[in-house]
Amino acid sequence: MELSITTKQERFINAEAFEVLFGGAAGGGKSYGQLIDGFLYALKYPRSKQIIFRRTFADLEKSLIRVSLEVYPKEAATYNSSKHSWTFKNGSIIDFGYIDHEKDVYQYQSAEYDVIRFDELTHFTEYMYTYMISRCRGANSYPKHIKSSTNPGGVGHTWVKERFIDIGEPDKQHEVILDTGKKSTRIFIPSLVQDNKFMLEYDPDYIDRLDNLPEKERQALKYG
């Protein structure tokens, strides 16, 4: 499988912080970065478990699932449409899940995942996010991560900004003190459409379409 990724996607893939946020603007290659990162992790760590969340399953079907079916080679993994899950030949699993209401987190109460991924993080409440952190666990030595991607706006805009943006400069891993007194690490990796050379090459008019949006939406989606 030949992978074509941007510099910012590579930073996201190689990020070592426990909590990683990728994105900021539309067209920055966030969802593709999630899928490729998940694929590479699954190959590197046999029998690993990952899950990718969107707010609704319809959102997953229209975006991540559709793209994964296009880019994941059948020689490496098989997709089960009834379980919404990829199973790799080395035993690794990538599940697709949704959390539409806060009570939906309890369907994952006994789950264990090495990496938990949120696509469009600002669509989720803080409780949805922090509850799922408790499901990031496993009886192995594999690196554990919560890796998210998002555009600005949405119900979670404020808490996501406070958690990832307000802690310090971007593209730098920050050590944070949790309420328990323990330490953790976070990083925000910004990505604009200008960073996505593939989007600019194949759809050069996309930036012009963003410029046609109302000012508030244009600032959010073009500049993050």
* CA dist., res. 21 & res. 145, Å (int): 11
Confidence of residue 204 (pLDDT cuts 50, 70, 90): low
Quote the DSSP letter at residue 224. -
What is the average per-residue pLDDT within 24-52?
A: 87
Q: Is pLDDT of 128 > 80?
A: yes
What is the model's pTM? 0.85
pLDDT at residue 223 tops 60: no
pLDDT, the chain, mean: 87
Tell me which of 114 and 26 has the higher pLDDT.
Answer: 114
As a whole-number percent, the residues of the chain with pLDDT over 70 amount to 82
Does residue 183 sit in helix, strand or coil?
strand
Please give the Cα distance from 56 to 163 (Å, whole number): 23
Whether 147 contacts 15, CB under 8 Å: yes
CB 15 within 8 A of CB 143: no
User: Would you call 138 exposed, middle or buried from its count of C-beta atoms within 10 A (0-12, 13-18, 19+)?
Assistant: middle
Residue appearing with tokens 């910004």:
190
pLDDT (0 to 100) of residue 137: 96
